[in-house]
Amino acid sequence: MTDLKSKVEALTPEAILAAYQLVQPFVHSTPLLTNTTLNKLASTPQTPESLIGTPYEGQPPAKPTFRFFFKCENYQRIGAFKARGAFHALLRLILERGESEVKKRGVITHSSGNHAQALALAAATLNIPAYIVMPSISTPSKIAGTRSHGAQVIFSGSTSTEREAVVAEIQAKTDAILVPPYDDFNVICGQGTTALDMEKQYRALVKESPHLSRHSADVCRAAPALDAVITPVGGGGLNAGVATFFSDKKTRVFGAEPSFEGADDCRRGLLAGERIAAVKTLTIADGLRTPVGVLNWEVISDPNKVAGVFSVTEEQIKAAMRLVLERMKVVVEPSAVVGLAVCLFNEEFRRMVEKEAPQGWDMGVVFSGGNTTVEAIGKLFS
């Protein structure tokens, strides 16, 4: 597949299933957790004061009903969902090009941290040399994690353009094969296995404990569908993969972004009707500082695949992260909680849920990663 149209057409639930079968021996089936306290908090109207300065000031706050199912990819290998895409991409490379060629040339990518660590791990597992271009401002723990798997780390500027320039320079010297961090068919299919895993676990969980779902016990014994799933959106690989898996199902897919310094490029692009190619932001959600990839945009901008993308502030991200840490006892990084923050604080989204689902939603929320440190968390809340 070389042209964009053929790649988009090939992104099907069947492609996700094929990826799942290939990567299953190499990745974890991470937990799917519920939390009654967060259900109650999200199903309680926001205070009128919290809506001051928004388009909803002076209006009664929305009262949606949520039953959350948290897919904890922070417990994935290297602490993030990115392991799925990295392993799938390398396994496909070996199948398509042959093990000897891939091992001779090695692989290269650019990433602020989680894809860097994921590709380093996958390459080490499969005995492939790896070159990783990372912004010099990357979190120290993510740099250390990448190096711990034996990858060669090369530093760059923080923007995608600066990273890609260094990648091209290293490729010219080494002939390493590029494995993009998100804008790649095989990476997208790998990330989409998160959704397949989630659906299987959800059905098993509500079959055993139907009180956790909005559905009747009879439906729970059959094969119920999550009403909706929300994921973070940075480069868009996770969101596009999840949307691909659920594209012919009853589950609606949403995206979540930080709004700080224009980090919500996907949301703004959807409003403008065209992809925004460059982003420069220092949002605390450091894994979401990149623009949506070209292939991912084709999926996410299709309203039949993704029903909408919503944004949240830095303070809302921190508030959601605090709740996850204190109420769920789960360690997550800021990027991981933007989806939960949308459910808790984005009044536009909350009004939509209330209007479209008076009975409430069984809502899948993907916690994308947990690569942070005690020091970073302390600094965030100091």
Residues known to be catalytic: 82, 112
How far, in Å, CA of 221 to CA of 203, rounded?
8
The single-letter DSSP state of residue 26 is T
* 127: nearest Cα among 90, 83, 156, 97: 90
How far, in Å, CA of 72 to CA of 136, rounded?
28
With H, G, I as helix, E, B as strand and everything else as coil, classify residue 133.
strand
Token digits of residue 307: 């029903």
* 37: nearest Cα among 278, 285, 322: 322
How far, in Å, CA of 291 to CA of 160, rounded?
8
With H, G, I as helix, E, B as strand and everything else as coil, classify residue 269.
helix
Residue 256 makes CB contacts below 8 A (sequence gap 6+) with 230, 231, 232, 233, 309, 310, 311, 312, 338, 339, 341, 342
How many Cα atoms within 13 Å fall on the side-chain side of residue 114? 34
Is 233 in contact with 255 (CB distance < 8 Å)?
yes
Query: Given the DSSP bridges, would you call strands 66-72 and 361-367 parallel, antiparallel or unpaired?
Result: parallel
Handedness of CA 83, 89, 92, 98 (dihedral sign): negative
